[in-house]
Amino acid sequence: METPPQVPPDRTGPGAMDALHEAGIWAALTLQAGPPWLEQFWVYLTSHFDPKSIYTFCFPLAHGLDARVGLMVLWIGLVAEWLNVVLKWFLFGERPYWWIHESGLFSQEELEKLPLRQFPVTCETGPGSPSGHCMIPGAALWPLVTALTAEVARSTRSRVLRLIPFLAYTLFLVAMGLSRIFVLAHFPHQVVTGILAGSALGWGLQRCPPNFRVFRFFVAVAVVLMLSALALHSLATAAGIDLDWSLRLASAWCSDPAWLRPDTRPFASLCRVVGSALGLALAAETPLRRRDEDQLLDGRLRVASTVLALLALQLVHRLPRPSDAAALYRHVVVHYAAGPFLVVSVLPRFIIALRNFLEPSQVPPHTN
């Protein structure tokens, strides 16, 4: 018979945050005591649907359904990730896997009795508040959910059916939050904050979409987001605020040094943001002709283009990464800039050219 989890001992901590953190440890213990199949689900969810999946999976999939919705998913996702990095820098959120050792509230004997486990996805190196796994998808998926809701509303008057997209969105974010608590990457209040901040940001940004055909706008966005983040980091350092404190704690308390992934560092997130904005600029500079857009109304071409985009992005992001930090950051910028350019401009043209070569009778007449 499986023994129940040992709950951290009752005590009065030095402050309200310690009590909140201690309650989070209890929540993680409860989740980790669950059945093995549920453990596999939590680990799979948090490892396969991290913020990077917004760029490599959700964006090309949404773009295949509706080009403008896909672009909004990417746009809101990159803004949300930039804001998440800045909030993490200045909210100084702890992570459970190091807090339990650093807090001083538990003796070594008590720590040895607590059946808490780390996983390969546990050792995030940035601060913990708010949860990026909840905030970034919560923001980026908002335009996709509202578009699906509008599509369902055009097909039925049933209120229950119209609620299905938002219900799925909510269940996904709740499950993501639980998975982050399970692997000791976040406390419950951090995932709740991430969900609320992401949903609010998605709702707000959807109301003021940019013109996705303006090249200079996205170049300016890339420059402003990177320079502003660097300026904030420099000002904080000059003021004596150590924004890299979490890197040292992650290195000290991660069970396996191989689990410390460089792509979880805050500057890797900023490079994803900058690369994606530059990719949107490249896509804006090479827009499809109206004739090509009309051909993509063919469902077969859209499906083919979407499948090819998903495969291409998986291939691009599986290429070997350099170990040097500076080279890694350049690598991230280039690869994430390639994504929007491929999805919006290159691959649709390739699919259209291939179809026109194989089926010349389907080529529409040229019109001025």
Residue 84: give the domain boundaries: 35-97+118-355
Average pLDDT over residues 11-28: 80
Q: Has 233 been annotated as catalytic? A: no
pLDDT at 361: 62
Q: How confident is the model at residue 155 (pLDDT cuts 50, 70, 90)?
A: confident
Handedness of CA 282, 286, 290, 293 (dihedral sign): negative
Residue 332 lies in a domain: yes
Residue 364 lies in a domain: no
3-state class of 322 per DSSP? coil
Q: How confident is the model at residue 296 (pLDDT cuts 50, 70, 90)?
A: confident
Residue 110 lies in a domain: no
**Alpha carbons 74 and 139: distance in angstroms, whole number:** 10
216 is in an annotated binding site: no
Q: How confident is the model at residue 6 (pLDDT cuts 50, 70, 90)?
A: very low
User: What is 229-256 written as a DSSP string?
Assistant: HHHHHHHHHHTT--TTHHHHHHHHH-S-
Average pLDDT over residues 280-289: 93
Q: How confident is the model at residue 366 (pLDDT cuts 50, 70, 90)?
A: low
Q: Which two tokens stand for residue 9?
A: 């001992």
- Answer yes or no: are the C-beta atoms of 144 and 69 closer than 8 Å: yes
Q: Which two tokens stand for residue 240?
A: 């004596």
pLDDT greater at residue 215 or residue 111: 215
pLDDT at 14: 55
Averaged pLDDT of the chain: 90
- Answer yes or no: are the C-beta atoms of 31 and 116 closer than 8 Å: no
Of 21, 48, 101, 186, catalytic:
186
Of 21, 63, 133, 331, catalytic:
133
**Alpha carbons 65 and 155: distance in angstroms, whole number:** 16
pTM: 0.92
Average pLDDT over residues 145-163: 90
Q: Which residues have CB under 8 Å from 244's CB, separation 6+?
A: none
Q: What is the pLDDT of residues 326-350, one digit of tens each?
A: 899 999 999 999 999 999 999 999 9
**Alpha carbons 82 and 6: distance in angstroms, whole number:** 38
3-state class of 3 per DSSP? coil
Highest mean pLDDT among 132-136, 254-258, 300-304: 132-136
Residue 3 lies in a domain: no
321 is in an annotated binding site: no
Per DSSP (E only), the strands in the chain are: none
pLDDT at 158: 84
Q: Which two tokens stand for residue 133?
A: 């796994």
In angstroms, what CA-CA distances link 342 with 111, 127, 143, 311, 349? Answer: 50, 33, 21, 11, 10
3-state class of 266 per DSSP? helix
DSSP-derived secondary structure letter, 106: S
Average pLDDT over residues 186-190: 97
The number of folded domains in the chain is 1
Q: What is the pLDDT of residues 28-42, one digit of tens each?
A: 999 999 898 999 999
Residue 111 lies in a domain: no
Question: Does the pLDDT at position 12 exceed 50?
Answer: no
Residue 2 lies in a domain: no
Q: How confident is the model at residue 9 (pLDDT cuts 50, 70, 90)?
A: very low
Q: Has 186 been annotated as catalytic? A: yes
Tracing tokens 């994504």 back to the chain, one arrives at: 339
Average pLDDT over residues 134-150: 96
Residue 11 lies in a domain: no
DSSP-derived secondary structure letter, 4: P
Exposed e or buried b per residue across 244-279, where buried means at least 16 C-beta atoms within 10 angstroms of its C-beta:
eebbebbeebbeeeebeebebbbbbbbbbbbbbbbb
Residue 109 lies in a domain: no
